[in-house]
A and B are shown apart, each in its own frame.
Chain A
Amino acid sequence: MTLTIWQRLDKTGRNLAPFAVTVMLVLIGLVPVPMPGYAPVAPYLTAIAIYYWAIHRPDLMRPGTSFLIGLLQDLLTGGPLGVNALLLVMVHWTVMTQRRVLQASTFTMMWLGFALVMLGVACVQWLAFMALNATVLPFNPALFQALLTMACFPAVAWLLIRVHRAFLQG
């Protein structure tokens, strides 16, 4: 069976959805929120998206894609190059090793898994910034960011499930 050009375009468009949604989350993470004390603990939304897509559609969210999104985030946030890329590739890689368990498990288990991944992310981020700035930095902001990201997980995951169902099923 051959596909017409429109069908192919449609399919490509749909397959781009995970990437597009994740980029959207990168941009949303950059919106200035006029709330004192918010910026340091703003949730790391991109990690949620990478985690979700790596579990459900690893064919559309490859390590390379995670790396590119991380790189984009590095460039846009103005931070040292490569930190977000490293974190997202790490999330992706962790999911890959545990994918079978995570895919078969319930939502609560997935959430728990994400909490563990996010703690790892917080530690690596903290270490990376300490190494790059060659100083000792407090761990608390990274920890609170991780906690807030964990709290945001159900809401963002719900959104991703909706996108998943709308564009990539059937």
Chain B
Amino acid sequence: MLASIALMMVGKIDALSVDNARARVTDAFAPILDAISRPAATAAHVVESAVEVQNAFEENQRLKAENARLLQWKQAALRLEAENISLRSLLKATPEPTSTYITARVIAAPGSSFLRTLVVTAGRRDGVRKGQAAIAGAGLVGRVVEVGEWSARILLLTDINARIPVVLERSRQRAVMAGDNSDQTKLLYLPPDAAIQAGERVVTSGHGGQFPPGLPVGVVASVGERGVRVQPNVDLARVEHLQLVDFNLPGTETDPSHESK
């Protein structure tokens, strides 16, 4: 029992070697976790498809309407892209560094009351680096906190240790988004008079140099006594695959030139 308390101390003090040990062990167990997570995923698919068959007609109607709307958006986006390119060429703006994507499957999600992490099947040999953003579909999921040879651990937005600099899209109000182990996150360091409405989109601000600005994160769910709560765009309980993005931002932890130290 004393040994476990001692271990807690060691874990607090020598976080680096603990991280390494953890990455090793996770690596060793990754194939087993991968194997046992597959039947679970299949079972979930079977249940889900049964539910979907029931709603197929309504879903089809809804998707048709959505598709029509999205086609209009696509036109707008193409027009803006062309305009952007021509304006950039006028200004001689430096092009943003290109991002590289690594797609990985989620193989473990520890069931714990006080932790929100995922383990995915991609590691150092696939190009994963500490600090990379993890995104899935509609937005940010978390960031890479630990990298093994062929597995990596993602700290989800909702974990109590997650802090992400964000900006509210309409009011341009900056804040830090913090997890508190619940399904929603909260915004810290907002001025008391900030006019924030529910429904406003929250995107990364790019401060701190971890993530590029403008990455969608979530939507303000409620503003009230308990602070401003944000509903993440992605349903974090259902993430099956995610993309690890290396934005190649200069001077960050993910920058390869820092790796050689």
Contact = CB atoms under 8 A, between A and B. Distances in A.
Given A75-B21, A90-B1, A133-B160, A29 B240 contact: no
Interface in A1-54: 27-43
B261 interface: no
Nearest to B107: A32
7 contacts: A27-B29, A30-B109, A31-B109, A35-B237, A76-B26, A83-B8, A86-B4
Interface in B1-59: 1, 3-8, 10-12, 18, 21-22, 25-26, 29, 32-33, 36-37, 40-41, 44, 48
A132 to B, nearest CB: 7
B153 interface: yes
Contacts, number: 153
Given A37-B237, A38-B237, 19 more contacts: A30-B33, A30-B110, A31-B109, A32-B106, A34-B48, A35-B237, A36-B238, A38-B111, A39-B237, A76-B29, A77-B115, A78-B153, A80-B11, A85-B7, A93-B1, A126-B113, A128-B8, A142-B113, A145-B113
A43 B111 CA distance: 7
Nearest to A28: B36
Given A75-B22, A82-B8, A33 B109 contact: yes
Nearest to A70: B4
Contacts of A110: none
Residue of A40, A86, A93, A138 with most chain B CB atoms under a 10 A cut-off: A40
Contacts of A82: 4-8, 10-11
Residue of A36, A77, A126 with most chain B CB atoms under a 10 A cut-off: A77
Nearest to B159: A78
- 9 closest residue pairs by CB, A with B: A42-B111, A82-B7, A81-B11, A141-B113, A77-B110, A86-B4, A32-B109, A82-B8, A30-B108
Interface residues of B, number: 50
Given A32-B109, A85-B7, A37 B183 contact: yes
B160 A81 contact: no
A132 B1 contact: no
Contacts of A97: none
Contacts of B240: 32, 34
Contacts of B119: 30, 76, 78
Nearest to B238: A34
Nearest to B114: A129
A78 B152 CA distance: 11
B81 interface: no
Given A32-B37, A82-B7, A40 B12 contact: no
Nearest to B7: A82
A76 B108 contact: yes
B7 A33 contact: no
B108 A31 contact: yes
B146 interface: yes
B188 to A, nearest CB: 12
A80 B145 CA distance: 13
A141 B40 contact: no
Interface in B111-170: 111-119, 145-146, 153, 160-161
B181 interface: yes
Contacts of B44: 33-34
Nearest to A142: B113
Contacts of A32: 37, 40-41, 106-109, 118, 239-240
Contacts of A81: 7-8, 10-11, 18, 22
Contacts of A27: 29, 32-33, 36
Interface in A68-99: 70-72, 74-83, 85-86, 89-90, 93
B47 to A, nearest CB: 9
Contacts of B111: 29-30, 33, 38-43, 145
B235 interface: yes
A85 B41 CA distance: 29
